[in-house]
Amino acid sequence: MSSSPKDKAKTPEGFSNLKTKTPPKNSVGMPAIKAAVGHAVKYMNPADALKISLKLNQKGGFDCPGCAWPDPDDARSFLGEYCENGIKAMAEEAQNKTIGAEFFANHSVDELAGWSDFEIGKSGRLSEPLFLASGATHYQPISWDDAFKKVGTHLNALDSPNDAVFYTSGRTTNEAAFLYQLFVREFGTSNLPDCSNMCHEASGSALSETLGIGKGSVTLDDLYKAELVIVMGQNPATNHPRMLTALEKCKKNGGKIMAINPLPEAGLVKFTNPQNPYKLLTGGTKITDVFVPITINGDVAFIKALLIKLLEKETIDGGVVDEGFIKEFTHGYEAFVSDLKTYNFEDCLQASGVSKEIFDEAFHLILNNNKIIICWAMGLTQHQNAVDNIRELVNLLLLKGSIGKEGAGTCPVRGHSNVQGDRTVGIWESAPQAFLDKIEAKYGFKPSPKHGYSVIDAIKAMYEKKAKVFFGMGGNFISAVPDTLYAAQALANCNLTVHVSTKLNRSHLVTGKEALILPCLGRSEKDYQKTGIQVQSVENSMGIVSSTKGVLEPCSKKIISEVAVVCGMAHATLKNRTKINWLQYKDDYNLVRHDIQEVVDGFDDYNSKLKQPSGFYLPNGARYRNFKTKTGKANFSLNRLPKWKLKDGELVMMTIRSHDQFNTTIYGLNDRYRGIYNERRIIFMNRDDMATRGFKEQQVVNLKSEFNGVVREAHNFKVIGYEIPKNCCATYFPETNVLVPLDSFAHTAKTPASKSVIIRVEAITPERLS
Ligand SMILES: Nc1nc2c(c(=O)[nH]1)N[C@H]1C(S)=C(S)[C@@H](COP(=O)(O)OP(=O)(O)OC[C@H]3O[C@@H](n4cnc5c(=O)[nH]c(N)nc54)[C@H](O)[C@@H]3O)O[C@H]1N2
Ligand SMILES: Nc1nc2c(c(=O)[nH]1)N[C@H]1C(S)=C(S)[C@@H](COP(=O)(O)OP(=O)(O)OC[C@H]3O[C@@H](n4cnc5c(=O)[nH]c(N)nc54)[C@H](O)[C@@H]3O)O[C@H]1N2
Ligand SMILES: [Mo]
């Protein structure tokens, strides 16, 4: 009997062979080089590995499919603008193994679902299109033509175009993303959920409302020139390693760094630049001047405490706030000040979990510096009050006049390498009407003005059988989304699930009645088309658009580009209903860019500007104090302290990344910077919280979350005593996504609150273990 969708969606509950060490204080350095080389040698052909490391993030090379951190505009170091996790990302994509018909004949879907995510990922690159027929146990090869026909038949059989969901992960290039959303809109729906919904959506909401642009305002150069950089809710040594080079440069120029994080993450403490041989020998740079060990979701409280003290000081001594800036460029200051007066400093400090001593150090750094940048990532965006988190940090910057000038501003550090670009070119379930009007003017069809499903809405719609076809452009939906078991049923309710992918993942195994895997080229591979090898483009975290061109031969002759997938699917689905000559685009991507230029602001002379070696900056009003908000000014906002309270025995859990994973892709089983080896099913706990519960180191426990009366469980985790504030704990994503309630999400943005999941931890009795 075949296992249920829920069983297939869960990560296997067995243990590996856990070893622990004291977490190191230093990051990167020699161990990082060793780890990177180890991965490259193990999974890639040596010649490919060399080609890749010379071209990664180089001008005229290809953009690393790892994170979205920008490359320097000027000189780029030899060895590539490279980092350990960039090399791991490449080793993952440019694997020397491929899987196709034979592999899938040998392994049933059920069997593969029993493999760990690590084993699934290491099976190899997908090398041909595959089809899972209704009731079948194994995927079988299918031709591209038949695959496109299948998609078209299913889509055209729907009662309404709104019964299909078109997901996007953030690796898709501008060209593929633009065509994809164009197809979806011509097909007739706005159902374009994307990984951003689970990632920086709260940043986009908060920044658009307060500063008039959903992106950050700073450039790399600003980071070098800042007097103070605050890194909040972010673990750069693992997730954006090249950011540490920028922080090091900032420090060299006299800047200070403050980190606000429940965990003393290794890279925040000390960093050894892998490109600096002297530093490799002498042991690195101390990065953080003040480390603030905040309680999970204590950020609004902490910033409020700072704001209260800054205004007190202003009243006594003056000269603290930037009056000129506030008067000329902001709106809502008086309301903000009177609202702040309703809060008490001690209450806020207590809610933040920070000691008065550390608060004072942080306060003085902010008081004494006026060029401040705040960087943040998932530690701020994945809470119910995520939008408040970001609006409150904007309040702090506005008060100090720290926006729209050199060395100051907002820096939401994006995740996927082109997640920002995808949104810019139209992957947006609630795209502004002005954008839709431009599509209508250019192509002559009227895009649906109705907002489509975000990720959470899409899951519900599939669960309720309102949506019946799921199409994923990249990503690993079932493992990335909250509430894994509910989502599994949602996908299983579909008539067809389709994934455009480079690698096998769990989403291919938790299917609708029928399923397709459409294998595509990765960033590192040459994209041969009729007019020659194609160049594509991406936008990084700081709004720079640059070209990317693969250097390796494709891993199989039967895989095609994402652009070609969209063109083939659009042609087969829309037939003579279309107003667009779909097949022309895949022959020449210049045509796609030509269209983007006409529809999206900021892309004038796209094709020629893309030839500039460092790419080009998109317009950014906030960078120049041109705030395109409803009031025409930068808006102060009023934010509340979070309301949730722990009951006796409960802990608040954040689901985070280990050092050896890229989201749901598991590179390996270690988390070197936290001293964890060979295991992912662990829970980091404060030692006092362990003692209260009578837990020993490596005790095996089950985790339970209860939300609105529904209990969710995750089994078999080993307890690790760790330097984490009391009442807080941490586990790895995606193993604990089963515990994240679908209905616990950020107001306005709908980002799942996967950094504040309230749980209980229960010891497993020895009898149950055996
Ligand atoms: N190698 C690698 N690189 C990646 C990724 C990857 O998985 N692997 N993923 C990419 C993607 S898509 C993204 S979005 C980014 C993610 O980059 P990060 O946001 O750095 O990733 P997380 O592991 O989720 O780490 C969240 C951090 O926030 C802290 N934190 C949690 N809750 C709170 C809180 O309430 N307040 C504060 N102040 N801090 C908190 C955690 O301790 C942790 O250090 O990285 C991108 N780059
Ligand atoms: N609990 C919890 N859940 C989370 C998070 C968390 O912190 N905690 N983080 C959230 C965040 S920030 C994000 S961004 C999402 C990530 O969600 P997703 O973007 O959906 O997940 P990924 O793991 O990045 O997707 C990996 C898959 O993408 C495919 N892939 C890789 N490269 C390419 C390519 O070039 N083209 C195509 N077509 N496919 C490719 C491969 O098949 C691979 O298996 O997860 C979210 N989920
Ligand atoms: Mo992300």
Q: Which atom of ligand 2 is nearest to the CA of 126?
A: 42
The CA distance from 578 to 444, in Å, is 10
- Ligand 2 centre distance from Cα of residue 561 (Å): 18
Tell me the average pLDDT across 639-665.
96
CB-based burial, 677-704: b 16+ in 10 Å, e otherwise = bebbbbbbbbbebbeebebeeebbbbbb
Which residue's alpha carbon is nearest to atom 21 within ligand 2? 475
Q: Which atom of ligand 1 is nearest to the CA of 199?
A: 14
Q: Which atom of ligand 2 is nearest to the CA of 200?
A: 12
* Helix residue spans in 444-561 (DSSP H): 455-463, 477-480, 484-492
> How many degrees, rounded to 5, is the angle at CA 239 between CA 271 and CA 735?
130
- Ligand 2 centre distance from Cα of residue 480 (Å): 6
- Ligand 2 neighbourhood includes 403 CB (under 6 angstroms): no
**CB atoms closer than 10 angstroms to residue 627:** 21
Which H or E run contains 610? none
Tell me the average pLDDT across 309-330.
97
Look at strands 536-539 and 26-28 and give their pairing: unpaired
Tell me the average pLDDT across 425-439.
98
Q: Are 27 and 271 in contact (CB under 8 A)?
A: yes
Q: What is the DSSP string of 266-322?
A: HHHHEEE-TT-HHHHHHT-EE--SEEE-PPTT-HHHHHHHHHHHHHHHHHHH--SS-
What count of Cα atoms within 13 Å lies in the side-chain half-sphere of residue 735? 30
The CA distance from 516 to 140, in Å, is 9
- Ligand 2 neighbourhood includes 505 CB (under 6 angstroms): yes
The CA distance from 468 to 462, in Å, is 6
Is the preceding peptide bond at 274 cis, omega within 30 degrees of 0? no
Residue in the structure block whose two tokens are 């007190």: 312
- Ligand 3 centre distance from Cα of residue 188 (Å): 28
Q: Among 15-29, 153-167, 277-291, 297-311, which is the least confidently predicted range?
A: 277-291
Q: Are 382 and 753 in contact (CB under 8 A)?
A: yes
Q: Is 485 exposed, middle or buried (0-12, 13-18, 19+ CB in 10 A)?
A: middle
- Model confidence pLDDT, tens digit, residues 108-148: 999 999 999 999 999 999 999 999 999 999 999 999 999 99
Q: Which atom of ligand 2 is nearest to the CA of 472?
A: 38
- Ligand 2 neighbourhood includes 658 CB (under 6 angstroms): no
Which residue's alpha carbon is nearest to atom 30 within ligand 1? 379
The CA distance from 672 to 88, in Å, is 14
The CA distance from 87 to 590, in Å, is 30
Tell me the average pLDDT across 735-754.
98
Q: Which atom of ligand 1 is nearest to the CA of 730?
A: 42
The CATH H-level superfamily of 203-412 is Dimethylsulfoxide Reductase, domain 2 (3.40.228.10)
Q: Are 331 and 631 in contact (CB under 8 A)?
A: yes
The CA distance from 569 to 543, in Å, is 30
Question: How confident is residue 80, by pLDDT bands cut at 50, 70 and 90?
Answer: very low
- Model confidence pLDDT, tens digit, residues 666-680: 999 999 999 999 999
- Ligand 1 neighbourhood includes 297 CB (under 6 angstroms): yes
Which of 752 and 770 is assigned the larger pLDDT? 752
Tell me the average pLDDT across 192-213.
98
Q: Which atom of ligand 2 is nearest to the CA of 507?
A: 44
The CA distance from 726 to 749, in Å, is 29
pLDDT of residue 299: 98
Look at strands 757-763 and 700-707 and give their pairing: antiparallel
- Of 523, 477, 257, nearest to 366 by C-alpha is 257
Q: Report whether pLDDT(270) > 90.
A: no
pLDDT of residue 770: 42
Residue 312 identity? E
- Model confidence pLDDT, tens digit, residues 505-532: 999 999 999 999 999 999 999 999 999 9
Which of 237 and 530 is assigned the larger pLDDT? 530
Residue 73 identity? D
Tell me the average pLDDT across 642-658.
96
Q: Are 329 and 394 in contact (CB under 8 A)?
A: no
- Model confidence pLDDT, tens digit, residues 390-414: 999 999 999 999 999 999 999 999 9
- Ligand 3 centre distance from Cα of residue 268 (Å): 20
- Ligand 3 centre distance from Cα of residue 531 (Å): 34
Alpha carbon 268 to its chain's center: 20
The CA distance from 184 to 439, in Å, is 12
Tell me the average pLDDT across 203-209.
98
The CA distance from 413 to 417, in Å, is 11
- Ligand 3 centre distance from Cα of residue 171 (Å): 11
Phi-psi domain of 482 (left: phi exceeds 0; alpha: psi -120 through 50; beta: other): beta
Q: Phi and psi for 762 in degrees, rounded to 5?
A: -120, 130
What are the distances in angstroms from CA 685 to CA 295, 350, 453?
13, 20, 36
Q: Are 191 and 164 in contact (CB under 8 A)?
A: yes
Q: Phi and psi for 698 in degrees, rounded to 5?
A: 70, 15
**CB atoms closer than 10 angstroms to residue 439:** 22
Which residue's alpha carbon is nearest to atom 28 within ligand 2? 475
Pocket test for ligand 2, best of 118, 538, 663 (most atoms within 8 A of CB): 663
The CA distance from 16 to 656, in Å, is 19
Q: Report whether pLDDT(27) > 70.
A: no
The CA distance from 513 to 504, in Å, is 19
Question: How confident is residue 276, by pLDDT bands cut at 50, 70 and 90?
Answer: low
- Ligand 1 neighbourhood includes 474 CB (under 6 angstroms): no
Q: Report whether pLDDT(282) > 80.
A: no
- Of 202, 333, 328, 392, nearest to 632 by C-alpha is 328
The CA distance from 321 to 400, in Å, is 5
The CA distance from 63 to 86, in Å, is 10
Q: Which atom of ligand 2 is nearest to the CA of 381?
A: 12
pTM of the model: 0.95
- Ligand 2 neighbourhood includes 559 CB (under 6 angstroms): no
pLDDT of residue 96: 76
Structure tokens at 228: 């103070």
Q: Are 147 and 129 in contact (CB under 8 A)?
A: yes
Q: What is the DSSP string of 567-607?
A: HHHHHHHHGGG-SS-HHHHHH-HHHHHHHHHHHSTT-TTHH
**CB atoms closer than 10 angstroms to residue 250:** 23
- Ligand 1 neighbourhood includes 668 CB (under 6 angstroms): no
What are the distances in angstroms from CA 229 to CA 223, 243, 373, 406, 459?
7, 12, 5, 13, 38
The CA distance from 756 to 745, in Å, is 10
Q: Report whether pLDDT(66) > 90.
A: no
Which residue's alpha carbon is nearest to atom 31 within ligand 2? 502
Ligand nearest to the CA of 654: 1
- Residue 422 DSSP SS3: helix
- Ligand 3 centre distance from Cα of residue 198 (Å): 7
The CA distance from 384 to 398, in Å, is 24
pLDDT of residue 377: 98
Pocket test for ligand 2, best of 664, 732, 738, 750 (most atoms within 8 A of CB): 664
The CA distance from 77 to 73, in Å, is 12
Q: Report whether pLDDT(77) > 70.
A: no
Q: Report whether pLDDT(283) > 70.
A: no
pLDDT of residue 674: 95
Pocket test for ligand 2, best of 501, 510, 538, 555 (most atoms within 8 A of CB): 501
- Model confidence pLDDT, tens digit, residues 676-702: 999 999 999 999 999 999 999 999 999
pLDDT of residue 81: 54
Residue in the structure block whose two tokens are 């950014």: 620
The CA distance from 86 to 79, in Å, is 12
Which residue's alpha carbon is nearest to atom 13 within ligand 1? 415
The CA distance from 341 to 339, in Å, is 5
The CA distance from 88 to 759, in Å, is 33
The CA distance from 58 to 524, in Å, is 13
Q: Report whether pLDDT(597) > 80.
A: yes
Summary mean pLDDT of the chain: 93
Domain 12-22+645-769: CATH class, spelled out: mainly beta
Question: How confident is residue 78, by pLDDT bands cut at 50, 70 and 90?
Answer: very low
Which residue's alpha carbon is nearest to atom 46 within ligand 1? 415
Pocket test for ligand 1, best of 235, 240, 268 (most atoms within 8 A of CB): 235
Which H or E run contains 187? helix 174-187
The CA distance from 239 to 218, in Å, is 19
Identify the sign of the CA torsion 688, 692, 696, 699.
Answer: negative
Q: Are 494 and 469 in contact (CB under 8 A)?
A: yes
> What residue spans define the domains of the chain?
12-22+645-769, 203-412
Spatial CB neighbours of 403, under 8 Å, sequence gap ≥ 6: 211, 217, 394, 397, 409, 410, 622, 625, 634
Question: How confident is residue 51, by pLDDT bands cut at 50, 70 and 90?
Answer: confident
* Whole-number percent of the chain with pLDDT over 70: 94
Q: Phi and psi for 361 in degrees, rounded to 5?
A: -60, -45
Residue in the structure block whose two tokens are 């670009």: 421
Which residue's alpha carbon is nearest to atom 18 within ligand 1? 234
- Ligand 2 neighbourhood includes 173 CB (under 6 angstroms): no
Pocket test for ligand 1, best of 27, 654, 676, 727 (most atoms within 8 A of CB): 654
Q: Report whether pLDDT(606) > 90.
A: yes
- Ligand 3 centre distance from Cα of residue 211 (Å): 22
- Ligand 1 centre distance from Cα of residue 2 (Å): 36
Question: How confident is residue 35, by pLDDT bands cut at 50, 70 and 90?
Answer: confident
Structure tokens at 614: 């460092």
Q: In what order do the strands lie in the sheet with 164-168?
A: 140-141, 130-132, 514-519, 496-501, 469-473, 164-168
End-to-end, the C-alpha distance of the chain in Å comes to 26
Q: Among 16-20, 36-40, 425-429, 632-636, which is the least confidently predicted range?
A: 36-40
The CA distance from 458 to 197, in Å, is 11
What are the distances in angstroms from CA 63 to CA 67, 106, 412, 438, 541?
10, 35, 20, 29, 13
The CA distance from 586 to 581, in Å, is 10
